[in-house]
Amino acid sequence: MYTTSLLLHSIVRYFFLIFLLVTVVRSFQGWRQNKAYEKVDDKLGVWLVMLTHTQFILGLLLYFISPVVIFNKGSMSNPVARYWLVEHITLMVVAVILITVARATAKRINEPALRHKRMFTLTSGALVCVLLALLSLKDRGFFDVTM
């Protein structure tokens, strides 16, 4: 179950990142160029929220079954264990909230430029959270390859 969940979580993350980046770029262009909020923008928002919540559910499952998430006193003194136990989930929960709020509040705004601005502002914040999580992993040597 762990291996399957980890594989799904790993696959979905790429779709999530693609949709997040496309949403950030399109919403920035729409806001700065005062473009209409088109059907494609709405669909991107819907898909982004669906992918975000799917990724979050898979992540929560992994949080409780993963061998790297250690629930004991020593976890906080181990940088890798602390990352998975506290830092990763905190940043991802903030990203999920930002994306969900972006979609929920933007759909209520009638003025296209403000709608794009809301999507851009909140989804950019989510992107920053995701990038901070990746940089934090890199600082812990997660991407180092030793031979």
CA distance 45 to 124: 13
pLDDT at 147: 41
pLDDT (tens place) for every residue of the chain, 147 residues total: 889 999 999 999 999 999 999 999 999 999 999 999 999 999 999 999 999 999 999 999 999 998 888 888 888 888 888 888 889 999 999 999 999 999 999 999 999 999 999 999 999 999 999 999 888 776 666 655 444
Give the contacts of 104 (CB within 8 A, at least 6 positions apart): none
The domain ranges of the chain are 2-139
Total residue length of the chain: 147
How many Å from the N-terminal Cα to the C-terminal Cα in the chain? 30
CA distance 38 to 35: 8
